[in-house]
Amino acid sequence: MYKVPAEYYCRLHHVRPRFKNDIESVLLYMATEISRIQQTKKDDFNNELNRAIKLYPGNASKTEKTINNWRTEISSLFGLIEYEGDIAKPGRMAILLSENQDLIEFFRYFLFYFQYPGGHLKPQETAELIKKGIRFKPASYLIQVFFEGQKITGDKKFGITKAEATHCIFNDLRVTRDARSPKETAEFILRNREIKTEYDQGGDITRYAGDIMDYMELADLATLRPNYQYYLNNTHLETLHAFVNSVEYFQPYEKMYGKTKLVASDIAKTQDFW
C-alpha cells in the first residue's frame, strides 16, 4: 500500500457542505435567496438567510445548529456572502449564479481562484499551511498533470483516479510546497501503475481530492468514467489553458510566507478581503 513518505505528508482539506450530493439545486437556491437580501448587519443578514434555508425542501424540521452549518459551510467555501466588518452583503459569486443560473460558469470561477491555503479554512489552519510553505491551486495543477500524461502516453484518454490525486498530489508536500513539476507527477502516477501500486481508496481518505475533481466535472473541465478515472475535457482548450497560465494567488498571504511569528490573528485580518 503506497504511503506518502512521512517527511512529505500533509493532508489538505476544506469545508465540505453536508448537501454535496444535492449541491447543484442547493447552490442555485442559496444564490437566489442570498441575492435577495439587502446589505445589512451580519446578525440580521444571517437570520434572514436562516429563514430562507429552513424553507428548502426537507429542512423544516432541521435544528438551528444544522441550519447555521448550511449557511457557514456554503458561504466559506463558495464565497456567496461578502463581509465588511459587521456588515454582510450578497457576494459577487451569488449574484453571478443567481442572474445567469449557469453552474458551469460558476464552478469555473470557483476553481480558477480556489487555492490552499485559503479563507475557506479557519485562520489557525491557514496559518499552519503558510508556515509549512504550501501554495497550491489544485485545478490548475491537475489540468497540467492531465496534459503531461497525455503527452507521455500519446493518448488523450489519460485519466486520474481520486486515490491517485490524493496520494500523489494533494497530500504530498513535494507538490503542494516544493512545486514538483506536473510532468514528474504524471510519470510518477504511470510508474506506480506499471508496478501495480495500491492506494488507500477509502472515502474518508480521498474525499477532498475527490471533491475538487467532482467540481471540475461540474465545470465541464473533466469527466468521470465507469473505470473511476477522471479525464480532461479537451474540447475546452482555451479555458483549460487559462487555468494553466494563471499565476495569481491571494495577495494578502504572500507577505506572510517566511514570517517567523505568524499567528491566526494575522490571518483573521484578511478574511473580509478573501
**The domain spanning residue 46 has which CATH number?**
1.10.10.10
Instruction: Specify if 68 maps to a domain.
Output: yes
Count the alpha carbons within 13 Å of 109 in the hemisphere toward its beta carbon.
15
Instruction: Specify if 211 maps to a domain.
Output: yes
58 and 130 in a common domain: no
43 and 88 in a common domain: yes
192 and 163 in a common domain: yes
Q: Element (H or E) spanning 213, and its range?
A: helix 203-218
Q: How many domains does the chain fold into?
A: 2
Look up cell 513535494; give the residue.
174
The CATH number of residue 183's host domain is 1.10.10.2090
pTM for the whole structure: 0.93
Q: What is the mean pLDDT of the chain?
A: 93
150 and 163 in a common domain: yes
**Residue 13: predicted pLDDT:** 93
| Sign of the Cα pseudo-torsion (146, 152, 157, 159, in order) | negative
101 and 132 in a common domain: no
pLDDT band of residue 30 (cuts 50, 70, 90) is very high
Instruction: Specify if 267 maps to a domain.
Output: no
Cell numbers that stand for 57 in this block: 425542501
193 and 141 in a common domain: yes
133 and 101 in a common domain: no
pLDDT band of residue 243 (cuts 50, 70, 90) is very high
161 and 129 in a common domain: yes
Determine the Cα–Cα distance for residues 196 and 225; give it in Å rounded to an integer. 20
Instruction: Specify if 50 maps to a domain.
Output: yes
Are residues 143 and 243 in contact, defined by beta-carbon separation less than 8 angstroms? yes
149 and 130 in a common domain: yes
- In terms of residue numbers, what domain contains 85? 20-106
Instruction: Specify if 263 maps to a domain.
Output: no
Among 106, 137, 158, residue at a domain's last position: 106
187 and 135 in a common domain: yes
127 and 82 in a common domain: no
Determine the Cα–Cα distance for residues 229 and 165; give it in Å rounded to an integer. 10
Instruction: Specify if 264 maps to a domain.
Output: no
pLDDT band of residue 194 (cuts 50, 70, 90) is very high
